Amino acid sequence: MIARRTLLAPLSLLVLSACSAMQYHAGTQPAMVQDGMLVTPAGMTLYTFDKDPADASKSVCNGPCATNWPPLAADKGASASGDWKPITRDDGSMQWSYKGKPVYRWMRDAKPGDHGGDGVNGIWRIARP
């Protein structure tokens, strides 16, 4: 009986860790719709950048721009799911795009529901479904 438990415990841990890794990559979307806006799972508003081309394969917001507008990060192993697709940034990190547009947060949004980045410099927009 003890030998059986000794073998089953590591196996069950392996299965659980594989399932939890698959859960994120196998279709879980990185954001949700709330009040007609795309928001992170923590409720932070997401934005698009007018200078990013439609169907962008990468972001044009890098360096200081990405400091003010943090990209919605994707894991290296993330895969496309519905309207969501991971793209590679200039620094090699991954970012989520929605319907071909990379999405970002605004560093001055302090709490869920804030959307102060909408319209900044006439080129930042709330991401909407």
Dump pLDDT digits (tens) for 11-49.
Answer: 333 333 333 332 233 346 799 999 999 999 999 999 999
Q: Is residue 77 part of a domain?
A: yes
Within a domain: 5: no
Tell me, yes or no, whether 53 lies in a domain.
yes
Q: What does the pLDDT look like over 75-110, one tens digit per residue? A: 999 999 999 999 999 999 999 999 999 999 999 999
What is the residue range of 114's domain? 30-126
Q: Are 96 and 84 in contact (CB under 8 A)?
A: yes
Structurally, how many domains does the chain consist of? 1
Say if 89 falls within a structural domain. yes
